[in-house]
Amino acid sequence: MSTDLETIGMLRDSAARYADDNYGFHQRWSVLARPEGYSPQAWSDFAEFGFLALRLPEDDGGLDGDAVAVGAIMEIVGARLLMEPVLASAVVASGLLLKLGSASQKAVLLPRLADGSLILAFADEDEAGNACVFDGSRLIGGKPGVLHGDVAGELLVAARDTAGAPVVLRVAADAAGVSRRSYRLVDGRGAAGFSFDGAPAELLLPESGLSAAAALAETRDEAAVALCAESLGIVRKLVEITNDYLKVRKQFGRVIGSNQALQHRMVDCLLLQEEIRALTSAAQQALAGPALERTRIVSGARAYIVHAARKVCNEAVQMHGGLGVTDELDVSHYFRRLMVNAALFGNRDAHFTRFTDAALAR
């Protein structure tokens, strides 16, 4: 579905208003101190607002939102550094379930995803290529890094069957044979490593006949585009707060923003912001296109945006001086979030390689 602009505007405005009222930088400290690593109240509110059902079909009470609608929410997630598993559960895992789940699996899981009672995490293959093995009923192997796996009730696990073909499995996080080691990422979000020692697993079998390999490729691209939108939200906020800082910080009796060199650097940051906005929009539109063209545009956008967002963040840190790396200033928290995001669902080098391969294949 192509979500209409009015609905997208309402989503963005409602998410922004909620974040402004309930998720300021100082309020975020109390969330970081919670054992869950996120706010259960905020998660419940997101469910009430319909954010968690954004990708779900209208017949299941969702909005059937497209990539632009997802991007509207993810921009706020980035701008306010929200800690809830919106990306992991409401965007990535939900999207994969919609592609590969059977009617009965969807009937059981989708209502729980919509009301927030279930957090679903996606355990993808790691960059080393180590794959879990599924023998038809049991899962053996491990996943060292699963975003928000520490709070997930269930997992969707990318694995291989005994013939080496890709499959996706539904696994309860507390099932027999599942070991979970929870930890915090450098930006404060939760994650977990999993070991599967003959854990019971249920194969996702879509009635559409879509292959697991195709669904996984689409899901990874959707995750990359959502991260592009989150980066856009972060960059916009960094440009805003750095520009405001230059207007009030004084040295030698004058505001440092009067320095022409710093003005030029801020203009460069603003130009990078607009490039990120344009590339994010192009990647969102490309998700509906042919696979090869989708790969070329999405990976090209992702690779460039990782680089551009990091450059804006570096400038923000430098123009804030020594304060820019302290916990007490939000700039350092944006820096850490971008560091973590840059490693999720393929790093810059992986996406650049994928982009060049797709471009040459044309």
Quote the mean pLDDT of the chain: 94
Paired tokens of 11: 């989503």
Paired tokens of 329: 């200033």
pLDDT for 5 equals 79
Residue 76 has pLDDT above 70, yes or no: yes
Determine how β-strand 202-203 pairs with β-strand 138-147: unpaired
* pLDDT tens-digit readout, 97-122: 999 999 999 999 999 999 999 999 99
The share of the chain scoring above pLDDT 70, in percent, equals 98
Residue 1 has pLDDT above 60, yes or no: no
H/E run at residue 329: none
Residue 245 has pLDDT above 70, yes or no: yes
d(CA 265, CA 82): 28
Q: In sequence order, what are the beta bridge partners of 191?
A: 147, 183
pTM of model > 0.75:
yes
CA distances from 234 to 23, 332, 360 (A): 15, 12, 32
pLDDT for 3 equals 67
Paired tokens of 341: 């995001």
Alpha-carbon torsion 307, 312, 314, 315, what sign?
positive
The stretch 183-192 carries a mean pLDDT of 97
pLDDT for 127 equals 63
Determine how β-strand 178-184 pairs with β-strand 166-172: unpaired
Determine how β-strand 154-161 pairs with β-strand 132-134: parallel
Paired tokens of 205: 């079998």
Ordered structural domains, the chain, with CATH: 5-115 (1.10.540.10), 120-203 (2.40.110.10), 212-361 (1.20.140.10)
Contact 77, 9 (CB under 8 A): no
Nearest to 13 by CA among 72, 74, 80: 72
The upper half-sphere exposure of residue 245, i.e. CA atoms within 13 Å in the direction of its Cβ, equals: 20
pLDDT for 11 equals 87
Query: Which DSSP string corresponds to 7-64?
Result: HHHHHHHHHHHHHHHH--HHHHHHHHTSTTSS-HHHHHHHHHHTGGGTTS-GGGT---
Burial of 310 (C-beta count, 10 Å sphere; 0-12/13-18/19+): middle
Nearest to 192 by CA among 41, 329, 36, 328: 36
d(CA 326, CA 332): 6
Contact 219, 237 (CB under 8 A): no
Determine how β-strand 166-172 pairs with β-strand 250-251: unpaired
